[in-house]
Structure 1
């Protein structure tokens, strides 16, 4: 192993163990070598990686930013070595992915089950959210996002485009009537999830665009809440169309008037080296984009 590769391997182990002596034992090398290689790496990179004290070491912000890329590099190095020795590496390891609550349960989950059936040595952790988390801060490999685009050093691929729709229960329509025109919504309360990113309803149709003020007295931070409120006849809910496809008997109104689109994006770190298991999941989901 070259000195530089060894230095990166020591750095990765030290980030996990936060101890020179524990790292020395784990890698079966002298503690002096650990210290020397860390100093050499800091000099080569021109940054301090650890703040040292007599009792412990603490990674610097530069070390935290560097470690995901180092791990990807070491994974790629190991894969190259296996291929060079005639091995076809079996996909294994853990993938961490974030997705909106309802989308994760209703749309993403069936695809992940199929993926794990094909790759039984891969495990998947799903972090469900309302607001997309920072991938690097939460050590995530992937995220699925609707209306919100994450800031930071990320790449994105479009999975699918959905639309917001207005729905109600059959009982609600029996009691309050069924709106036939966008202006009829002025006589109905709307249930608005916080993830709906607009202050007005903007409808497109063959008659042009119409903007209608949102009349609401019930909101929630999740689309499942809005769906449940619609079942309780609290008003008409604004929901993503994929929920209507999977929610049973809620009925859409104003079908001929299209609301704003919802681009569903697959987001991942903009790293030169992405682990093969993560690349495989990205390709798997993109191949099934029409189902998502």
Structure 2
């Protein structure tokens, strides 16, 4: 038999991504019974069980996992075909779900999406802001904005902009504790640490010409929120390693001062990442191109 209802296939993927019939039903604003009926119809069409069910959870069967990959590819191909049919009018349409770090999302991503949608009103955005890294393989996120290293080789990445960083402290902190003159001086200071799974948040790597110093730092405060670290730094509670975009205004006003300005922190970058699937919907490729061009200027490293 054949799949005759594309919506059933879309519901099938939503159940997998959401983890349960009830969660998928909430996202789709339907009843669990309606979702269950659509899955049953799809199973009948395919002649196999797509899920293993028990009283506590629902998970894809072996056939369900294999079929899900083909369904995703097929729906992506269909979406691309629909976009190609609309190319003559150059109209982008459809939903894009995006995740981004919280502070960067508030400061740069939300404004960029608003401006993009002014030119492409047919595109709908769902923006999720968190300093936790979204699991693209296990979610319905189309695109993630990530800052820093990209260890996951399953993802397709596009460099959007360099991400210069800087050591900063408030004038009040430096008056009270003194100004570091060399990297080793950081051992005697309260350093505000970024605590994140898998990161070396207790070591700051600094460069000066060909010289490199890996400084083990410590302090009474750490957080997985870059904005929390910025606020603590402004309050005079220590020295922080911050992205330049995060503190550029504070530096311009003199609310924060650069520390060890001749020593450059380890380089970083801002990327757009997505699952490595083809074809890429035109609304997503156009958005990535737009962000790269916009942030090439907006986030240009300081002279």
Relative to the length of structure 1, the TM-score reads: 0.78
Per-residue deviation, residues 39-76 of structure 1 (Å, max 9, x unmatched) = 4xx7xxxxx645699xxx98533344444323212212
Which of 270, 273, 279 is 1:267 aligned to? 273
Q: Does structure 2 retain, via aligned residues, the 8 Å contact 1:200–1:214? A: yes
Structure 1's 118 and 150: CA in aligned 2 closer, same or farther, altered over 3 A? farther
Which of 38, 46, 53 is 2:46 aligned to? 38
Instruction: Tell whether 2:138 aligns with 1:130.
Output: no
Aligned-partner SS, 2:236:
coil
Matches within 5 A, 1:141-290: 141-149=142-150, 151=152, 153-195=154-196, 197-206=200-209, 208-247=211-250, 248=253, 249-290=255-296
Partner Cα distance (1:211, 1:23) in 2: 55
Stretch of structure 1 that moved more, 11-20 or 269-278: 11-20
Stretch of structure 1 that moved more, 219-228 or 245-254: 245-254
Partner Cα distance (1:52, 1:201) in 2: 48
Per-residue deviation, residues 20-54 of structure 1 (Å, max 9, x unmatched) = 5x589xxxxxx7xx677424xx7xxxxx645699x
Per-residue deviation, residues 189-229 of structure 1 (Å, max 9, x unmatched) = 11111146353222211372223220322111111111111
Stretches of structure 2 that go unaligned for 5 or more consecutive residues are 15-33
Partner Cα distance (1:201, 1:254) in 2: 12
Partner Cα distance (1:14, 1:236) in 2: 49
Partner Cα distance (2:114, 2:149) in 1: 26
Shift of 1:258: 0.7
Q: Does structure 2 retain, via aligned residues, the 8 Å contact 1:166–1:252? A: yes
Shift of 1:178: 2.0
Relative to the length of structure 2, the TM-score reads: 0.76
Stretch of structure 1 that moved more, 211-220 or 62-71: 62-71
Q: Does structure 1 retain, via aligned residues, the 8 Å contact 2:193–2:218? A: no
Per-residue deviation, residues 235-268 of structure 1 (Å, max 9, x unmatched) = 1112112212144521111111011111211101
Shift of 1:281: 0.7
Aligned-partner SS, 2:161:
strand
Stretches of structure 1 that go unaligned for 5 or more consecutive residues are 25-30, 43-47
Q: Does structure 2 retain, via aligned residues, the 8 Å contact 1:10–1:37? A: no
Partner Cα distance (1:261, 1:130) in 2: 19
Shift of 1:187: 2.6
Q: Give the match for residue 9 of structure 1.
A: 6
Partner Cα distance (2:102, 2:150) in 1: 17
